[in-house]
């Protein structure tokens, strides 16, 4: 576990030396999240899709009436 920690620290030190690469490493995911959030927002905030359909009820029972009213 210590080896992984030391490798991560070494890698962060190497990346911190190149300031522009470090900024790019932080900014690019934020820009990507922002762009994808704007593009796909209509997908997540859509209105319910309503379909009119015919139902044949030969039973005329209580359960079929409840089912037809709920669906």
Distance in angstroms (rounded) separating the CA atoms of residues 4 and 52: 59
The better pLDDT of the pair 16, 37 is held by: 37
Residue entry with tokens 């409840």:
66
Asked whether 55 and 68 are in contact (CB, 8 A), the reply is: yes
Band of pLDDT at residue 27, cut at 50, 70 and 90: very high
**pLDDT of amino acid 3:** 93
* pLDDT tens readout for residues 40-64: 887 777 677 778 888 888 888 899 8
Of the chain, the percentage scoring pLDDT greater than 90 comes to 25
User: Domain-by-domain residue ranges, the chain?
Assistant: 2-70
pTM of the complete model: 0.43
Distance CA 33, CA 45 (A): 17
Is the four-CA dihedral 7, 8, 9, 12 of positive or negative sign? positive
Better pLDDT: 34 or 22: 34
Gap between the Cα atoms of 59 and 57, Å rounded:
6
Helix (H, G, I), strand (E, B) or coil at 46: coil
């Amino acid at each position: 576990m210590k080896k992984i920690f030391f490798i991560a620290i070494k890698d962060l030190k190497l990346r911190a030396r190149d300031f522009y690469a470090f900024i790019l490493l932080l900014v690019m995911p934020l820009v990507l999240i922002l762009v994808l959030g704007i593009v796909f927002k209509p997908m997540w905030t859509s209105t319910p899709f309503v379909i009119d359909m015919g139902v044949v009820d030969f039973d005329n029972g209580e359960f079929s009436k409840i089912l037809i009213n709920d669906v």
